[in-house]
Amino acid sequence: MDLEFTTEQVMFKDMAKEFAIREVQPYVKQWDRDCKMPHEVFKKLGEQGLLGIKAPVEYGGLDLDWLTLGLVTEQLAYYDFSLGMGSCSRTSLGIMPIAQNGSAEQKKKYLPGMIQGVLTHCFATVEPDAGSDAMAIKTTAVLDGDEYVINGNKTWITNANLANYAMVVCQTDKSKGSKGLAVIIVDWGTPGFSRAPIENKMAFRHHDHGQLFFRDCRVPKTNQLGGFGMRAAFSNVEHTRFGIACAAVGAIQACLDLSVKYCQERIQFKKPIGSFQLVQEKIADMVIDLEASRWIAYRLGYLKDKNVNVAKETSIGKYHNMEALSRCAKAAVELHGSYGLSDEYPLERIYRDCMAPIIYGGTAHVHKLVLGRLELGIDSVSR
């Protein structure tokens, strides 16, 4: 594995850092307090080319490598974990499903706007009774002539209330089990499609999450995205898990940097608290978590760019880096004493925010089950 970044990778990393210092750091505390952020941030990310990193050139993208996207995600997440994820998910679950599985017409309709940050997607799998068990989804899409008729509810969907279009995972034929799954695009404004926000959240407070409702919602058959089955429905979720692993690295680095500074400056018992061995142990643990997480994430990006199967590495990255972040965020809040609880420092926000991607993108338990299955050859949840 070549550990040197290319000039281009360094350029994008620096560009993302400058963007975050200018457009995110001064405002993120207020966004979190207000539970909303200006949507123009995504337009500005688009203007810098930061939303088109993996998108095809012919639609305005840059068609670069996964590692570049990972480095950009890490830099944004250093200042706002949730924005790092929001930005990365536009690629992983907004652009990639269409770039990889979409028809020429779908690509033309959605990709340029997504790359520019003027269109917003949502990708809807989860339902009130189907979370980790995605096969339990009840939303149906039944063919009637040249149209699909969609019925069902989705919940906890990122961008539910902002999306110009929803990619909805539906069951087209229950008797076919996983082979009947399909993703169907539903534009906002289609009769029978409504939505509602989920409010008062612990984490990712300035991002939109909500419920989607489909009642005899008719869309042309040509709105189907790709074919049928698990791969057609979920292959892009893997890219989001890579983003989570990279975003965690940025947030851990922030926890460490803030803690080092504070422990050098805060005086107790007439000494900087950083001189106490128990405090040094916490810093040492954070350094180890950071280094391990960083190499797991970068290696995952490197392997993704080699187009090899990364199921195992993706689950390791998603699981390990989020657990590491949750340890580091807790340690950083603790090291700041009572100040760690105040939003004058970003730590309490990182501490809260890290709970969101511990749950989405497959829970910690689910990724352990994946790793167990890959190693043992036994599926613990086979039906």
Ligand X SMILES: Cc1cc2nc3c(=O)[nH]c(=O)nc-3n(C[C@H](O)[C@H](O)[C@H](O)COP(=O)(O)OP(=O)(O)OC[C@H]3O[C@@H](n4cnc5c(N)ncnc54)[C@H](O)[C@@H]3O)c2cc1C
Rounded distance between C-alpha atoms, residue 274 and residue 284, angstroms? 11
Answer whether 262's CB lies under 8 Å from 336's CB: yes
Rounded distance between C-alpha atoms, residue 235 and residue 354, angstroms? 24
Q: Is 315 in the site for ligand X (CB under 6 A)?
A: no
Q: Is 204 in the site for ligand X (CB under 6 A)?
A: yes
Q: Is 139 in the site for ligand X (CB under 6 A)?
A: no
Neighbouring residues of 162: CB distance < 8 A, sequence distance ≥ 6 = 39, 120, 122, 208
Q: Is 81 in the site for ligand X (CB under 6 A)?
A: no
Member of 101, 125, 139, 326 binding ligand X (CB under 6 A)? 125
Number of residues that bind ligand X (CB under 6 A): 20
Q: Is 79 in the site for ligand X (CB under 6 A)?
A: no
Q: Is 156 in the site for ligand X (CB under 6 A)?
A: yes
Rounded distance between C-alpha atoms, residue 88 and residue 246, angstroms? 10
Member of 267, 341, 374, 381 binding ligand X (CB under 6 A)? 381
Q: Is 123 in the site for ligand X (CB under 6 A)?
A: yes
Q: Which is nearer to ligand X, 209 or 282 (CB)?
A: 209
Q: Is 178 in the site for ligand X (CB under 6 A)?
A: no
The CB-nearest residue to ligand X is 131
Alpha-carbon Rg for the chain in angstroms: 21
Q: Which is nearer to ligand X, 275 or 363 (CB)?
A: 363
The minimum distance between CB 176 and ligand X, in angstroms, equals 21
Q: Is 131 in the site for ligand X (CB under 6 A)?
A: yes
Member of 209, 294, 299, 367 binding ligand X (CB under 6 A)? 209
Member of 162, 173, 363, 373 binding ligand X (CB under 6 A)? 363
Answer whether 358's CB lies under 8 Å from 368's CB: no
The minimum distance between CB 92 and ligand X, in angstroms, equals 11
Answer whether 121's CB lies under 8 Å from 93's CB: yes
Q: Is 261 in the site for ligand X (CB under 6 A)?
A: no
Q: Is 359 in the site for ligand X (CB under 6 A)?
A: yes
SS3 354: coil
**C-beta atoms surrounding 39 within 10 Å:** 13
Rounded distance between C-alpha atoms, residue 84 and residue 8, angstroms? 20
Sign of the dihedral through C-alpha 335, 349, 356, 55: negative
Please report the beta strands in 208-333, taking only residues with DSSP state E, as ranges in sequence order: 209-220, 224-225, 267-268, 271-272
Which span (47-55, 154-162, 178-186, 292-300) binds ligand X, by CB under 6 A?
Answer: 154-162
Q: Is 197 in the site for ligand X (CB under 6 A)?
A: no
Interface residues toward ligand X, by CB under 6 A: 122-126, 131-132, 156-158, 204, 209, 356, 359-360, 363, 365-366, 369, 381
